[in-house]
Structure 1
Amino acid sequence: MSADAIRWPARLDLSAARDGGNATRVHARHDGPLRLLKTLYPEGAGVAHAVLVHPPGGLVGGDRLDIHIDVQPSAHLLVTTPAATRFYRSNAGEAAQVVQASVGEGARLEWLPQETLAYPGCIARNEVRFKLAAGASLFATEVLGLGLPAAGQAFDSGRLLQHLEITDRWLDRGWLDAADTALLDGPCGLAGHRVLGTLVYAQGGALADAEALLTHSRARLGEAVRGGITHLAGPGGALLLARVVGDEVEAVTLALRRVRALWREQLWALPASDPRIWAT
């Protein structure tokens, strides 16, 4: 997207660092309508929960949001939003949200936004890229809903590029186009479902007792959704990936939250600790 084509740009830079007292402190700088609403510490000073808001409530053609996150060594940052990201019908080009995050040595990042909704007729790009240093670890979720089925608005036109990446470790990239019935309705695609959920966990080094964790994780998905969980091990470390499809955003979201709760307890020895903003 060229600079001339951007109608309403916004940028937010977040930096999280560990201070001398082992607390994680967050600093933010913004341009345009994208803000850090609040930093909360429901788990104590070591884990910062940052709540991001985009007051316009959604993106139309030509809008662009840029989010840059820098988690310094040993810091622990959780980032979430109070509401969905909405890509509205596009009448003037592409709308884009681009997230780039770096996680320093021994640091932890939890990227846990609320769902992304692709309205009928949208032309959108949703890109999230993470770069992990040695010893860093990451939780990241993405729940994508195509159309507004509860309002009787099917995803019968439009397209969205979803790009999820951990540098040198994992890449999930593809267009979801309303005209691509083989992908949206075929048995090797979404099989007629219109909600797609992804949960990924990455760390340096191997996982202990990975097979037992996979068995317990799959049981947590429940029967309201279809999905699977895989474990990938390579020279860069271990990666757990949960993929889910369903008919309702809530069902997919709750399934991934149950799995994340288990992983957080087993892998980080921390309670589930859902962000407080999710209960409002």
Structure 2
Amino acid sequence: MFDIPAPSRIMQRSSGRANVVMGPRGIVDLAQSGSAKAMLPRMTAGLPEIVFLNTSGGLASGDRLEFGVDLRPRTRALATTQTAERAYRAEAGPARAAVHLRVGQGAWLDWLPQETILFDGARLTRETRIDLAPDAGCMLLETVVLGRLAMGERLARLSLTDRRIVRRAGRVVHHDALALDDAALPRLAGAAMLNGARAMSTLTVIAPNAADLLDRARGLLDEPGVTAAASAPPGRLILRLLAADGWPLRRQITRLLAGLRPDPLPRIWQV
């Protein structure tokens, strides 16, 4: 008998890109391909909403996902995701995700994606880039959950590189980065790290008057089971939140968004 080598296994990978351009009167352009989709539900109150969706159901090794928003001058909008993003075990290279946001003169964007859930063995590289015009502003939310507490999930292997870079008129005004790997996981329980928390969130407001919201934000940090702090460096308001699970963190974030924004919560969050 001839020894015929077994064919190498080639896993199917997902790739998607969705980009929305909006002006003061509504959508200007929509481009989408692969697993990335963008929906614009009809709104009767509050900011126009852009809802992004990854139809592949999650991110695995080698997947590529890109979302983009371009707001023309004097445009206000909210962008979010239809559900939590999931990063699954990856046996080879990382999944890669990118978010590109451009906010024109006198415009405002709320980027409020739902949480990212990391499974054991996940490998994810993500970068969020925001380009602001000189007098534009934005609110940014990022939430990461290290396994689902209700399912008894514990992470022993992980590779996460997550960066958020904000430029105003081409100059970096905010750079927030998080990196976790296998060696870091055992140390996360320490008081100098996450102190046992499994869910973490950062809410950032970037605007000339962002510091005016500091006292109001601190007054809203009252959810049981959530440890939080707020600071206001020049031109920014930054809130860091930790919790043992994603649900109390979600309740705290919802209260913050309702108290710091003049508009209703994202409709998709209320389903």
Spell out the pairing of 1:258-269 with structure 2 (5 A cutoff).
258-264=255-261
Residue 197 of structure 2 corresponds to residue 185 of structure 1:
no
User: 1:41 & 1:180 partners in 2: Cα distance?
Assistant: 44
Residue 8 of structure 2 corresponds to residue 17 of structure 1:
no
Give the letter for the 1:278 counterpart.
Answer: W
Runs of 5+ unmatched residues, structure 1? 265-269
Contact 2:156 2:185 in 1 (8 A): no
Partner of 1:196: 200
Contact 2:197 2:244 in 1 (8 A): yes
Residue 247 of structure 2 corresponds to residue 247 of structure 1:
no
Spell out the pairing of 1:116-131 with structure 2 (5 A cutoff).
116-131=116-131
Give the letter for the 1:60 counterpart.
Answer: A
Of 42, 45, 54, the match for 1:43: 45
Residue 75 of structure 2 corresponds to residue 66 of structure 1:
no
User: 1:81 & 1:110 partners in 2: Cα distance?
Assistant: 12
SS in 2 for 1:217: helix
Give the letter for the 1:43 counterpart.
Answer: A
Of 259, 267, 274, the match for 2:265: 274
Of 33, 36, 49, the match for 1:34: 36
Residue 119 of structure 2 corresponds to residue 113 of structure 1:
no
Contact 1:106 1:136 in 2 (8 A): yes
Q: Cα distance 1:97–1:42, how it changes in 2: closer, same or farther (>3 A)?
A: farther
The list of structure 1 runs, each at least 4 consecutive aligned residues, that deviate by more than 4 angstroms after superposition, is none
Q: Which has the higher Rg, Structure 1 or Structure 2?
A: 2
Contact 2:50 2:77 in 1 (8 A): yes
Deviation string 1:159-185 (CA, Å, 9 cap, x unpaired) is 211112212111111212242146512
Residue 175 of structure 2 corresponds to residue 171 of structure 1:
yes
1:92 deviates by: 2.7
User: 1:70 & 1:220 partners in 2: Cα distance?
Assistant: 31
1:97 deviates by: 1.2
Q: Cα distance 1:10–1:207, how it changes in 2: closer, same or farther (>3 A)?
A: closer
Deviation string 1:35-69 (CA, Å, 9 cap, x unpaired) is 1133332326xx31111111111010000101121
User: 1:154 & 1:93 partners in 2: Cα distance?
Assistant: 21
SS in 1 for 2:254: helix
1:6 deviates by: 9.3
SS in 2 for 1:60: coil
1:98 deviates by: 0.6
Q: How many residues align?
A: 256
SS in 2 for 1:140: strand
Contact 1:87 1:118 in 2 (8 A): yes
TM-score where L is the length of structure 2: 0.88
Larger deviation, residues 67-76 vs 183-192: 183-192
1:88 deviates by: 0.5
Q: Cα distance 1:28–1:158, how it changes in 2: closer, same or farther (>3 A)?
A: same
TM-score where L is the length of structure 1: 0.86
Deviation string 1:114-134 (CA, Å, 9 cap, x unpaired) is 110111100111221111101
Partner of 2:228: 227
Runs of 5+ unmatched residues, structure 2? 1-10
Identity over the aligned pairs, expressed in percent? 29
SS in 2 for 1:169: strand
Deviation string 1:239-266 (CA, Å, 9 cap, x unpaired) is 10000011111211221222222221xx
Give the letter for the 1:82 counterpart.
Answer: Q
Contact 2:216 2:260 in 1 (8 A): no
Contact 1:82 1:114 in 2 (8 A): yes
Residue 80 of structure 2 corresponds to residue 80 of structure 1:
yes
SS in 2 for 1:39: coil
Contact 1:26 1:39 in 2 (8 A): no
